[in-house]
Amino acid sequence: MTSGCTHPRTEFIYREDGVDYVRCLGCGQVFEAEDLETVPVAEDDGE
């Protein structure tokens, strides 16, 4: 778990199905580029 990293620097990893995946140079986390542009919130898809 990382805390406090706002992923200010990322590098492009690959694209799949029209989705760009990037990796944070700070914490190494990989996520969708779209997620970086929208404010990530806690996943509460409770069923």
* Chain contacts with Zn ion (rule: CB under 5 A): 5, 7, 24, 26-27
Q: What minimum distance in Å lies between the beta carbon of 36 and Zn ion?
A: 9
Element of type H or E holding 24? strand 19-24
Q: What minimum distance in Å lies between the beta carbon of 1 and Zn ion?
A: 12
Report the 10 Å Cβ neighbour count for 7: 17
Q: What SS3 class is residue 36?
A: helix
Q: Point out the residue whose Cβ comes nearest to Zn ion.
A: 24
Q: What minimum distance in Å lies between the beta carbon of 22 and Zn ion?
A: 10
Type of residue found at 24: C
